[in-house]
Structure 1
Amino acid sequence: MDSPALPVASCAVILSSGGIDSTTCLALAVKRFGAENVTALGVSYGQKHVRELESAQAVAKHYQVAQHMLDLSNALAASTNALMARSSHPIEHESYGQQIQGREEGPVSTYVPFRNGLMLSAAAAFALSIYPDRRVLLYLGAHADDAAGSAYPDCSAEFVGTMGRAIELGTYGLVSLEAPFVHVNKAAVVKCGLDMQVPYHLTWSCYEGSSKPCGTCGTCIDRIAAFRANGIDDPLEYA
């Protein structure tokens, strides 16, 4: 006997960091499903500052979507990578390209061990819990620039595809992973968001937690370049 056909996805959960990529995913989901059918999910994993989570809250308020927070810090309590609050390692103020020069591949200092795998697993369980009778799309804002040189291997298309299959298998096919930017660069993400008038002035990408983004860490450099590739300046004021 054939298995019954799965319902068409009618709602979405977005892993929302408050940055450009996840905020653009949130805009796509709201456009597709309506704000009443979208939930933003922030994650505390023990990071050095809460500035990104504050931006995630501002973005959720702007789009008038439900927002929840998960605390996964215990799972990474032993990590000493540069993004963690307990780490003594400084943030490197150079591009990702400069950071991976002189080696074939491998993580950068801001790689958080299996962070996307951890967050996706928790988010899939969360999505199935709040939408037990509906088919859900779980959005991840990974893009091709982050996967280059294996700087962040849990942003690669291969990783996303494998996790997507695992999530569908483990949720009776009711939760599916959607990573709309996994094959494109950050400039393409920004272009997509500009077309939808995404409020990028509310977002935060910087690895530092000051009142203004530093402009010199790897993610700031990528962000500035992505806006310039689209012929405009980043709406944020940099230190």
Structure 2
Amino acid sequence: MKATVLFSGGIDSTTVLALAIEKAGRENVTALSVRYGQKHEAELSTAAAIAAHYGVEQLVTDLTTVFQYSPSSLLKHSTEDIPKESYAAQLEKINGETPVSTYVPFRNGIFLSVAAGIALSRGSSVLYYGAHADDAAGFAYPDCSPAFNEAAAKAVWEGTGRQIRIEAPFIQMNKAAIIKIGLNLKVPYELTRSCYESGDIPCGRCGTCRDRAAAFAANHVQDPALKGIR
């Protein structure tokens, strides 16, 4: 079995990568990273370091022009700042009626479509990604929901001539549960990056930084990426 993993270098995708390697062997796994105009483009070098750590092939594809019209605060061309509060606080402000400002319109749908084409072309039979319950909660990121995953998996399966399966092993889990799995797999979380800001040091205040901190705290361990920072 050959597997392709959508890979950002964050906690979720790195844990998925570790699972894929455990199941298929590193020689059969490709990590696919995406440049899409994100403010935190430093995640690409993070992803490269983790791919090197595991000894897996990394591919990088550029979808920047696809998202040039998106108003998402996550993108470089946006004049809106990344919110410095939890996702719960962000959702409360918008009454949970729309996604949060860092949602990039249909990003996972586009990523999975492109990844499926690449995976099929390169002989993979499985496409992994790290969507999880925390991101889907309250309509924050609708393309992380179980309903979306089920529809996307069916579309990719049929659209690839029933050759590519999508697997989202964390779709019903929160980030704390993902980290628990990763700790058992000895995932190098010290190499991972979650912050949505562009700086070298995590801001510690954006939604994803806060989620990360809470998830490590729930496992009663210090975030290894923050050792020596604060």
- Higher-Rg member (1/2): 1
Query: What is the CA distance between 1:80 and its match in structure 2?
Result: 2.2
Quote the Cα distance in structure 2 between the aligned partners of 1:176 and 1:41: 16
For 1:72-221, what aligned pairs fall within 5 Å after superposition? 72-102=63-93, 103-131=95-123, 136-221=125-210
Quote the Cα distance in structure 1 between the aligned partners of 2:146 and 2:61: 25
Residue 236 (structure 1) aligns with? 225
Quote the Cα distance in structure 2 between the aligned partners of 1:178 and 1:105: 28
Residue 66 (structure 1) aligns with? 57
Query: What is the CA distance between 1:152 and its match in structure 2?
Result: 0.1
Quote the Cα distance in structure 2 between the aligned partners of 1:178 and 1:123: 13
Deviations 1:35-85 (A, max 9, x none): 000000000111113211111111110110011011111111111211111
Structure 2: tracts of 5 or more residues without a match: none
Amino acid of the structure 2 residue aligned with 1:62: H
Quote the Cα distance in structure 1 between the aligned partners of 2:50 and 2:125: 21
Question: How many pairs were matched up?
Answer: 227
TM-score for both structures, normalised by structure 1: 0.93
Amino acid of the structure 2 residue aligned with 1:212: I
SS at match of 2:92: coil
Quote the Cα distance in structure 1 between the aligned partners of 2:43 and 2:190: 13
